[in-house]
Amino acid sequence: MASRITLKTLSERLGISQMAVSKAINGKPGVSEDTRSRVLALAEELNYRPNRIAQSLRLSETKTLGLVIADSTMSLFAPIIDGVEKTAAEYGYQIILVNARSNAVEEQKAVRTLVGKRIDGMLLAASMLTDRKHKKFLAEAAVPYLYLVRRCNYKDGDYVVSDNVASCREMVGYLLDKGAPVHFLNLPAELTTAGDRLLGYKQAFEDKGRPCDERLVYNIKPTISAGYEKTKRLLDGGENLHTVFCGCDMIAVGVMQALRERGLSVPKDVWVASHDDIEMAQHLGVPLTTIRAPLYDIAALGTRELIEKIQSGSGKRIRIALPSSPVFRDSA
pLDDT digits (tens, 9 = 90+) for 46-71: 877 766 555 554 456 789 999 999 88
Question: pLDDT-based confidence at 25, cuts 50/70/90?
Answer: confident
Is the same domain home to 67 and 156? yes
Is the same domain home to 113 and 191? no
Is the same domain home to 269 and 301? no
Is the same domain home to 282 and 217? yes
Note the pTM of the prediction, 2 decimals: 0.77
23 is a domain residue: yes
pLDDT by residue (tens digit) across 220-275? 999 999 999 999 999 999 999 999 999 999 999 999 999 999 999 999 999 999 99
Is the same domain home to 156 and 270? no
121 is a domain residue: yes
Q: Which domain, by its residues, includes 98?
A: 59-162+295-324
249 is a domain residue: yes
Domain count, the chain: 3
Is the same domain home to 94 and 176? no
Contacts 24+ apart (CB under 8 A), 126-130: 126/69, 126/70, 126/71, 126/76, 126/77, 126/102, 126/150, 126/193, 127/68, 127/70, 127/100, 127/152, 128/70, 128/100, 128/102, 128/103, 128/104, 129/104, 130/157, 130/191, 130/192
Is the same domain home to 252 and 317? no
CATH number, residue 305:
3.40.50.2300
CATH number, residue 29:
1.10.260.40
Is the same domain home to 177 and 286? yes
